[in-house]
Structure 1
């Protein structure tokens, strides 16, 4: 599939999504359209798997055409279902396939009950299997009885039938192993929803260019990772971006507090063909109920909610994630708490990159104590990258990326990069372009002083600045104004005065000819 064809697919899906748009808000209709797309993906994957098994048996049969009332076909179906649960993690009967339900919808049949029962059947098929946790309650946000879809059952059925019929006509090209066509389209839709979701967007989506930057940082010099972890994973897009930057990631871990977003993250993993045995996404509050605390990770990435509130309960001073610092992040700003949590889970040879508000670089009190400990005692702060303002959904504040490593190659200095002026201004938001991204990555890799852009600061410099990491203290981006030639300005003013007097004289002569008083006549 060419780039043009991919863009056409993305627009098709967005147009179908807008069939629901008039009924509900962006964050609500997102859950329905992405859920339907995910169900279609599961169906097509199930068909491809089943048809491959049938072909291996030498049977000229196609799974979608098998009849559950035919005894011979029933034997095939049962064998396929058993294999499917073990291999792909779930099972669908021929009459439960997306295409089968879409055909009935086109014929004017009432399909809401069939859809509801099928989605439940997918979850039930995984009970007792290794994939059970990854599919549990996965479709709970697709409430087909919601009045948001229509005031009565027939209206809801008409709208849903229209949407799934349109989706049924689109080829997701799952057989194309060279490109993640559907994955790219799914990411596009998530991004489009984020742009219209206001403040809620930050809960589930990190702009793609920022995700790519974080991914390139934590994978620098590596071809594969044993593990990657995001403690505030949202839709999982950042984790998937890390996976794209290397040949393989053995295991993907994430945690997300919001239930709906947690479901979206699991769907996103499966839809990007991440095997159910290769990801572990949990739903809980990371700071108060961490779910992977027994593990250390090669790469840790995150875009936590900026300056979120947390309990800062003194009991956390006994928690091994926070105890060594002697201070907790303030209850009004959990930014440093996320840093401490992530650093605790980082492997000795791993890299961590986290997006944070600029305040963490210079705020005092307990945050200042934690920051000094990170630099002076642990020496884990490797780089600070300043990003432009207004590039994140839901907030216009400027942000930065903290890069931390436990065993630093450049242990005697900290790299500062000021990329705050590197962006393209768009209608409602600033955007990092690929060339801006390339410039940041190049500066990060070279680790050299670049006038008005990057500075390699010694630890002594940082100490002399009282462990304040505010980027302008290290990268001077001041542009001196051009010197003003006062003599030249004086001559220009004299010339203007001379010209003004000539014009006044001409106007006075005109007034004499007309027999009227000159406006420049001397008042007596």
Structure 2
């Protein structure tokens, strides 16, 4: 039976299952097997749903034919035959049949190979991609990219260069000036396209699509790109194989073909770039020849030559191209003089899978190049988060780069338009190293000698916190009072700083105003959210939400709009995107229906392992396990059964109280020679069973009355706990039953309200308040640092030293030691 999956479930199950089966094979090789099967499954499902699908699936060449081979001794050979049929039917030879499914060196021999392929096919068997729409939010296309990202991460430094991180790709796609009315006939070219992810991000940024061209040196990687194009609905893309420098595939006569747009992430600093180079195709005309052992400028000049006279592009290159000398300096100077470089964005180090060195994006624009008088620079090197052993751009980082660049906003320590005259000045001599023009370092936290000597907190340190005083105009006067010129002191006890800030009317007002702004923003989009259907484009939806949220907080004091944006995007990626995809697939009513928990696999005793369930009735194999993907039970309980939930909490509290009574009584009396000492087991524990057994023995022995009473009392406590647990269990079953029944009573309007208002809206409002709290905590911590730093003057410290010296002297004298 096929099942509709959330994206996160699909991704994690594909990766976990595939990774478990790869054995000792290198990820860079194993990816070919997994991604080929994913492709065959996808095109097979699409062909069943659409007789006019791009890929025609012949008899004997479908995924169903692969399923029929499970467990058969010749499965490897026959999988190759089936995939060859699919390849021959669609002119995909050398694309989908590169992986040898009968290779004993990679997949094992005999039963090992049969079992591995049987399980591998089984991973994809129950997935249904017939409804996949390939609209930029396509489940399969994104799953393919997810797998490639993991394979790139696992493939090692020398083998992970086939994939450009999606965050970087989206930034580049947004920088090259694609307009809403750009026609599909407009061309985009990537001369080093890898698996094609960068090209697809650019095509997705164009509402009408683009005509795609790409070249890739490695044939196996080119095959990934062709499959990737099909999975994203771009099966007509022209992806060719060959070395871009020595054997460019896109020619017009004896010169290079030119394109409207260009994006590229070429291999960095290739030493043998001119191997086999016989025709330069005019790429270096008017420039110095790139150095023999570094191909960065060879690729860049190839890209310049491949752009039309109004063409625009974005290229990832190592930082060295910005400042290295000799021939590269000569080329760089000529490019600047011609005005081809529109902008430069410095990126964080360790973003890419093939290298850890820092890189930059060079934005190219030939249109009106001669009139260009400056280069817009951004230092985005500090905006990232750690992601395993790599760094990754956060949503706030990508959005800020794009917004600042497209609007040409000058931001202190981040971006500025640098005049060409400044770049050409002899002191810079056409050096484009970003730190020459943007000082992105944080201001030094200067120690104030005057404050250390005479006390007080320097006013300049308090002035640096002006965004807080703008948000809380009366707060500075509540916290500080003047001490002397240029210095202030706390007007309250240091321990009261936090309470003074968070207890102020201005802080409460900021929280209230922020919540009101979020509520108004959310209500403005409510109709849009209610209208989610199978034709919704999730990327457009979140873009609309994110941009409008930025606008709401852009002019508000203190709150960093990108911080709020990051919280929205994190929630979108963690929860909301899955919810939207589920609603698109199942509709509001279908997505809200409880479903049985899936079996994820089996343990060594062949017992099923289930996914986590929200509500479970019973135990073992016969248990009923219910999962609520869209509307978690706590939302139902909070809205419809608050009283019953309160009753259950009281019952749970009674269980805790009964347990504590037992623990306290046993702890008091189970000590040596205590009344319950003989009721303890070998581990010193007293249970209902051991206490009952001891009572029976004590009666036979005629033990003391006190022991009888203690045993009877503790047995009574155990009975009370058992009764409390039974009542709590019955209360839980009652509440779970009511909750499960309530799902069947929900109208579409009820479901939309629970999700849009309670689940999504409530969480986002909470996140905005959390952002305010985080910023306020930063103020509290800074004031604590300043208060601690200047709390004691040098005179105070000298006096303390004198006191301690005197004490030491007294002790030495008492010991008979003369100073």
Q: TM-score, normalised by structure 2?
A: 0.54
Q: Deviations over 1:369-391 (max 9, x none)?
A: 11111111x22111111111111
Tell me: CA distance 1:20–1:506, structure 2 relative to 1, closer, same or farther (3 Å).
Answer: same
Give 3-state SS (helix, strand or coil) of 1:203's partner. Answer: coil
Aligned to 2:67: 102
Counterparts of 1:161 and 1:27, CA distance in 2? 21
Give 3-state SS (helix, strand or coil) of 2:312's partner. Answer: strand
Tell me if structure 1 keeps the 8 A contact 2:246–2:274: no
1:388-427 equivalences under 5 Å are 388-408=348-368, 411-427=372-388
Aligned to 1:289: 247
Give 3-state SS (helix, strand or coil) of 1:281's partner. Answer: strand
1:61-210 equivalences under 5 Å are 88-93=54-59, 95-105=60-70, 110-126=74-90, 132=91, 135-176=92-133, 179-210=137-168
Counterparts of 2:448 and 2:66, CA distance in 1? 79
Residue 354 of structure 2 is aligned to residue 354 of structure 1: no
Deviation at 1:109, TM superposition (A): 5.9
Tell me: CA distance 1:258–1:111, structure 2 relative to 1, closer, same or farther (3 Å).
Answer: same
Which residues of structure 1 form unaligned runs of 5+?
Answer: 51-83, 127-131
Counterparts of 1:319 and 1:41, CA distance in 2? 41
Instruction: Identify the range of structure 1 (11-20 vs 305-314) with the bigger mean alpha-carbon deviation.
Output: 305-314
Counterparts of 2:396 and 2:349, CA distance in 1? 18
Deviation at 1:243, TM superposition (A): 1.0
1:207-226 equivalences under 5 Å are 207-224=165-182, 225=184, 226=186
Give 3-state SS (helix, strand or coil) of 2:333's partner. Answer: helix
Deviation at 1:90, TM superposition (A): 4.0
Which residues of structure 2 form unaligned runs of 5+?
Answer: 455-792
Tell me: CA distance 1:3–1:301, structure 2 relative to 1, closer, same or farther (3 Å).
Answer: farther
Give 3-state SS (helix, strand or coil) of 1:495's partner. Answer: helix
Counterparts of 1:457 and 1:412, CA distance in 2? 9
Counterparts of 2:109 and 2:4, CA distance in 1? 41
Tell me: CA distance 1:517–1:157, structure 2 relative to 1, closer, same or farther (3 Å).
Answer: farther
Tell me if structure 1 keeps the 8 A contact 2:134–2:141: no
Counterparts of 2:161 and 2:335, CA distance in 1? 27
Count of matched residue pairs: 469
Counterparts of 2:4 and 2:309, CA distance in 1? 40
Counterparts of 2:270 and 2:317, CA distance in 1? 11
Deviation at 1:212, TM superposition (A): 0.4
Aligned to 1:298: 260
Instruction: Identify the range of structure 1 (194-203 vs 35-44) with the bigger mean alpha-carbon deviation.
Output: 194-203
1:191-270 equivalences under 5 Å are 191-224=149-182, 225=184, 226-270=186-230
Give 3-state SS (helix, strand or coil) of 1:200's partner. Answer: coil
**How well do the aligned residues superpose, as a CA RMSD in angstroms?**
2.5
Tell me: CA distance 1:3–1:422, structure 2 relative to 1, closer, same or farther (3 Å).
Answer: farther
Instruction: Identify the range of structure 1 (339-348 vs 241-250) with the bigger mean alpha-carbon deviation.
Output: 241-250
Give 3-state SS (helix, strand or coil) of 2:439's partner. Answer: coil
Tell me: CA distance 1:510–1:139, structure 2 relative to 1, closer, same or farther (3 Å).
Answer: same
Deviation at 1:7, TM superposition (A): 0.7
Deviation at 1:198, TM superposition (A): 2.0
| 1:458 aligns with one of 416, 419, 424 | 419
Tell me: CA distance 1:148–1:219, structure 2 relative to 1, closer, same or farther (3 Å).
Answer: farther
| 2:438 aligns with one of 447, 458, 475 | 475
Counterparts of 1:370 and 1:311, CA distance in 2? 17
Aligned to 2:408: 447
Counterparts of 2:347 and 2:415, CA distance in 1? 13
Tell me if structure 1 keeps the 8 A contact 2:216–2:240: yes
Deviation at 1:89, TM superposition (A): 4.6
Counterparts of 2:265 and 2:194, CA distance in 1? 9
Counterparts of 2:22 and 2:816, CA distance in 1? 71
Instruction: Identify the range of structure 1 (424-433 vs 466-475) with the bigger mean alpha-carbon deviation.
Output: 424-433
Tell me if structure 1 keeps the 8 A contact 2:262–2:303: yes
Counterparts of 1:436 and 1:477, CA distance in 2? 15
Counterparts of 1:279 and 1:251, CA distance in 2? 7
Instruction: Identify the range of structure 1 (280-289 vs 266-275) with the bigger mean alpha-carbon deviation.
Output: 266-275
Counterparts of 1:318 and 1:49, CA distance in 2? 46
Aligned to 1:80: none
Tell me if structure 1 keeps the 8 A contact 2:87–2:97: no
Give 3-state SS (helix, strand or coil) of 1:401's partner. Answer: strand
Residue 801 of structure 2 is aligned to residue 497 of structure 1: no
Give 3-state SS (helix, strand or coil) of 1:249's partner. Answer: coil
Counterparts of 2:46 and 2:816, CA distance in 1? 94
Q: Deviations over 1:453-509 (max 9, x none)?
A: 111122211211211111112212244424433244356344323212322333444
Aligned to 2:815: 516
Instruction: Identify the range of structure 1 (278-287 vs 109-118) with the bigger mean alpha-carbon deviation.
Output: 109-118
Q: Deviations over 1:199-248 (max 9, x none)?
A: 13542011111000111112443443511110000000000111111123
Tell me if structure 1 keeps the 8 A contact 2:43–2:57: no
Give 3-state SS (helix, strand or coil) of 1:417's partner. Answer: strand
Deviation at 1:394, TM superposition (A): 3.0
Tell me if structure 2 keeps the 8 A contact 1:216–1:245: yes
Deviation at 1:197, TM superposition (A): 1.6
Aligned to 2:447: 484
Which structure would you say has the larger Rg? 2
Tell me if structure 2 keeps the 8 A contact 1:312–1:328: no
Aligned to 2:747: none
| 2:347 aligns with one of 376, 387, 396 | 387
Q: Deviations over 1:51-86 (max 9, x none)?
A: xxxxxxxxxxxxxxxxxxxxxxxxxxxxxxxxx7xx
